[in-house]
């Protein structure tokens, strides 16, 4: 059907630890990925879904025969359900239908290719459920004026039109997510189940849902439950009035009335409202906001696969402390069970896949690391942490505990310590800034630069010239530091290049020099700062 999603070199697993702590594992596969880059192939695959004709869509060559047949059936059915928009019918379709969910795509867009089969699956499910939502798609590259008129600015874009007025899609991106969101936005936020047969059938279709048990579907508590169901964009809500039916969906339920619980597909499958930690004082209190807060803290499974399509949901979660483990796939097999046990101790949650490790590793300055890495990020203070001892289960657990209690020291990235012997311009790294600059008995002129800075090269040449000019001054050191690869809590610079003069007697108050000055002007300023005219050479620059 569609090209298989490229197997990433790495898989990122995120476990969210309760009380604002997220625990993440990144697994690096041993084999190199095979990446499909043939745009023409992508186009033809997309056309299988896009074309509205009477032929069934064929399966991808790499799929097994059983999967091919199943996918072909989904595509064939979707082709009859999903309407293709163009410049002639787009406005008419929107104006003549109460609900229209539109997918704006581009044939060359990889993310569009990822979303297409999910959209097709959602279209089939919504049709089977008798939903009034009309599913449509628009090739925004072929019809750019129509796309612009509808508000499609990127790919893929999902928009719901209600009586001609558009709403931005805010749900998840699996077929199930699209179905749940569309039903909630078109007046069906809750599914009512009345029998054991219906409950058993519901369980087969949904792996994550919220159960509400009410003897009567009325009153304050029930109304707050409905408000929460309407506000939430991601989870299917279900309501029952029979405790025996409720037990099919939530076996360990003790209440016979006024009960809310979340059900997930994992060992820690059933969580009752008011059961955990900060929510135990909420038991018996049914308010929309507290119900939604309960779901935010409990909707992620112990181990969740994080992809580009669901990453926004994870990153926007209330868990601000994130512990991330980057490991080789073989090491991960040995780590997964103890890591799950650690996560359970903190009452945990969530996981990930894809190519999402590199940004994290780059922040730590260890993007080329081949060893298991345990790190953490505190999004409240933009702080990061690194476990620098062996990543044993006991060390990881201690690392998590100290992070949770605020006793970990932040980690600042640094390049390896260089050999500065006989160098007229000293190279400073994060690990040497204290010794060679802040604690040095000498005056230090430090250039802070980045490799991508356009003007830094000119400034560096100036500093090299000044270093040679002041070579005879024993109490003056010229140095430079790459700010993109090195960090220090006392070096906070946003503009590059930056020149900082650290006086020997007052390192806490460096003087910022102009990078627009000529070499002669800089030499004059340096002389005045040194306050030792007898040690300063004549100005011959």
Three-state SS for 448?
strand
Query: Quick check: 501 and 445 in contact, CB under 8 A?
Result: yes
Q: Which two tokens stand for residue 331?
A: 């090491």
Three-state SS for 37?
coil
Q: Out of 453, 479, 483, 513, which one is annotated catalytic?
A: 453
Q: Out of 136, 404, 448, 456, which one is annotated catalytic?
A: 456
Q: Which two tokens stand for residue 97?
A: 């239908």
Three-state SS for 86?
coil
Query: Quick check: 80 and 57 in contact, CB under 8 A?
Result: no
Task: Give Cα 138 to chain centroid, integer Å.
Answer: 28
Query: Quick check: 473 and 530 in contact, CB under 8 A?
Result: yes
* Helix, strand, coil percent values for the chain (each to nearest 5): 35, 20, 45
The Cα–Cα gap between 446 and 422 comes to: 18
The Cα–Cα gap between 318 and 311 comes to: 14
Beta-carbon contacts of residue 257 (< 8 Å; ≥ 6 apart): 213, 214, 215, 243
Distances (CA, A) of 69 to 56, 66, 74, 116, 123: 10, 5, 9, 17, 18
Catalytic site includes residue 109? yes
Residue 118: which H helix or E strand, with range? helix 110-128
Catalytic site includes residue 456? yes
Q: Out of 27, 85, 109, 295, which one is annotated catalytic?
A: 109
Q: Which residues are catalytic?
A: 109, 453, 456
């Amino acid at each position: 059907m569609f090209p298989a999603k490229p197997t990433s070199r790495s898989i990122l697993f995120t476990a969210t630890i309760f009380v604002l702590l997220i625990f993440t594992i990144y697994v690096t596969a041993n084999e190199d990925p095979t990446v499909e880059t043939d745009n023409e192939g992508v186009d033809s695959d997309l056309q299988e879904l896009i074309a509205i004709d009477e032929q069934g869509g064929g399966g991808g060559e790499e799929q097994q025969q059983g999967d091919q047949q199943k996918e072909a059936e989904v595509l064939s059915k979707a082709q009859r359900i999903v309407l293709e928009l163009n410049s002639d019918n787009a406005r008419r379709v929107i104006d003549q239908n109460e609900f229209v969910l539109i997918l704006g795509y581009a044939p060359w867009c990889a993310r569009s290719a990822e979303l297409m089969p999910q959209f097709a699956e959602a279209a089939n499910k919504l049709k089977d459920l008798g939903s009034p939502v009309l599913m449509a798609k628009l090739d925004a590259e072929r019809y750019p004026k129509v796309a612009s008129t509808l508000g499609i600015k990127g790919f893929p874009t999902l928009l719901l039109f209600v009586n001609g007025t558009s709403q931005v899609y805010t749900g998840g991106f699996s077929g199930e997510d699209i179905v749940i969101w569309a039903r909630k936005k078109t007046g069906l936020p809750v599914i009512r189940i009345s029998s054991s047969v219906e409950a058993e059938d519901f369980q087969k279709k949904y792996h994550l849902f919220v159960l509400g048990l009410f003897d009567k579907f009325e009153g304050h508590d029930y109304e707050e439950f409905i408000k929460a169901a309407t506000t939430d964009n991601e989870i299917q809500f279900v309501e029952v009035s029979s405790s025996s039916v409720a037990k099919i969906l939530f076996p360990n339920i003790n209440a016979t009335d006024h009960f809310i619980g979340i059900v997930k597909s994992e060992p820690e499958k059933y969580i009752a409202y008011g059961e955990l930690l900060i929510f135990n004082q909420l038991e018996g209190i049914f308010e929309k906001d507290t119900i939604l807060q309960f779901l935010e803290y409990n909707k992620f499974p112990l181990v969740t696969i994080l992809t580009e399509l669901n990453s926004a949901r994870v990153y926007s979660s209330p868990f601000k402390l994130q512990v991330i483990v980057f490991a080789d796939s073989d090491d991960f097999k040995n780590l997964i069970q103890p890591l799950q046990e650690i996560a359970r101790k903190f009452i945990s949650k969530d996981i990930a896949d894809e190519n999402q490790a590199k940004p994290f590793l780059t922040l730590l300055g260890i993007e080329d690391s081949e060893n298991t890495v345990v790190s953490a990020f505190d999004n409240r203070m933009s702080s990061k942490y690194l476990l620098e001892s062996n990543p044993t289960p006991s060390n990881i657990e201690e690392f998590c505990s100290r992070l949770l209690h605020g006793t970990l020291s932040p980690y600042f990235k640094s390049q390896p310590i260089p050999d500065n012997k006989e160098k007229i311009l000293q190279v400073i790294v994060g690990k040497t800034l204290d010794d060679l600059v802040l604690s040095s008995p000498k005056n230090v002129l430090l250039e802070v630069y980045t490799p991508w800075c356009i003007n830094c090269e000119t400034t560096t040449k100036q500093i090299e010239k000044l270093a040679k000019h002041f070579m005879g001054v024993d109490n003056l050191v010229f140095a430079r530091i790459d700010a993109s690869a090195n960090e220090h809590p006392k070096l906070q610079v946003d503009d590059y290049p930056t020149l900082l003069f650290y006086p020997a007697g007052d390192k806490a108050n460096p003087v910022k020099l102009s990078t627009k000055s000529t070499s002669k002007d800089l030499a004059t300023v340096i002389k005045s700062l040194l306050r030792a005219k007898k040690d300063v050479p004549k100005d011959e620059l």
